[in-house]
Amino acid sequence: MSKEQPRTDFGYRKVPLADKQALVDDVFHRVARRYDLMNDLMSGGLHRAWKEALVTAVNPPRDDRPFGVLDVAGGTGDIAFRIVAVAGSGTRVTICDNNPDMLAVGRERAQERGLEEAITFVEGNAETLAFTDKSFDAYTIGFGIRNVPRIEAALAEAYRVLKPGGRFLCLEFSGVDVPGLDALYNFYSFNIIPTLGRVVTGDADSYRYLVESIRRFPSREAFADMLRGAGFRRVSATAMSGGIVALHSGWRL
């Protein structure tokens, strides 16, 4: 057995719940400073279009009407900056992330952009949000839900903190629908992405874990059922880029 083999099954084995959070925290601690750069390299820039689709769905008011967004697992601020850029002066985004390294990157970028008033950074866990009931108009999470140990608990918390009429929006990797693309996508994921991680961040194992964690995430249909089980209605999933990514939506009605 080679030296690296014991670490290649993180995404496939059933990691004990008590261990998964520590594993995820360690991954993002190591990649925080190069996280957004790697997103560009891994997706060929497509992640920008996916996030723009998310922001379009959020549809924040363009005037001074109060509108609160909770962006979970968005520590570097990428989604929050996009929301604020198209929103009116009444929109406020609270970023909640349990990784202080990712939050540090986001805070620095917000200060550089002069967005300290529009964006607040909070260290916290998606499973136990430190916010009052019915306090946000929208809840967003981009490529983070699959790394939550107890997804059902996170969805219940999302429902709790949304106002009636509020919307849950989640970007997450999904199952490829296009024949032939699935094999190409698998080859790229398991061979090219870890290599990029090693070259750019000096860390192939973290990106191997992130790739493999995608394979354990529920199907679009199964995740939709989880959303309904948490109380959401008008649940939908929109596949993008041949199914590589899906935009999941649900409303608190």
pLDDT tens-place string over residues 142-169: 999 988 989 999 999 999 999 999 999 9
Helices and strands: H and E segment counts in the chain: 10, 7
Over the chain, what is the mean pLDDT? 85
More confident residue, 130 or 191: 130
- Supply the pTM of this predicted model: 0.83
Neighbours of 184 (CB within 10 A): 12
Range scoring the smallest mean pLDDT among 28-37, 77-86, 193-202, 214-223: 28-37
Residue 44's pLDDT is 74
User: Using CA atoms, how far apart are residues 83 and 153, in angstroms rounded to an integer?
Assistant: 26
**What value does the mean pLDDT take over residues 16-42?**
61
pLDDT tens-place string over residues 64-97: 999 999 999 999 899 999 999 999 999 999 999 9
- Coil, strand or helix: which one is 230? coil
pLDDT over 50 (residue 4): no
Which tokens in the block code for residue 149?
A: 């140990």
Residue 197's contacts (CB-CB under 8 Å, 6 or more residues apart) are 31, 38, 203, 204, 205, 206, 207, 208
DSSP E strands in 32-116: the ranges are 67-72, 91-97
| Closest listed residue to residue 220, CA positions, set 153, 167, 175 | 175
Kindly give the pairing relationship between strand 245-251 and strand 162-173: antiparallel
**What value does the mean pLDDT take over residues 12-21?**
53
Locate all alpha helices (DSSP H) within 71-171, ordered by sequence.
Answer: 78-86, 100-113, 151-161
Distance between first and last Cα of the chain:
53
Residue 19's pLDDT is 53
DSSP E strands in the chain: the ranges are 67-72, 91-97, 119-123, 136-142, 162-173, 233-240, 245-251
Q: Which CATH architecture has domain 5-251?
A: 3-Layer(aba) Sandwich (3.40)
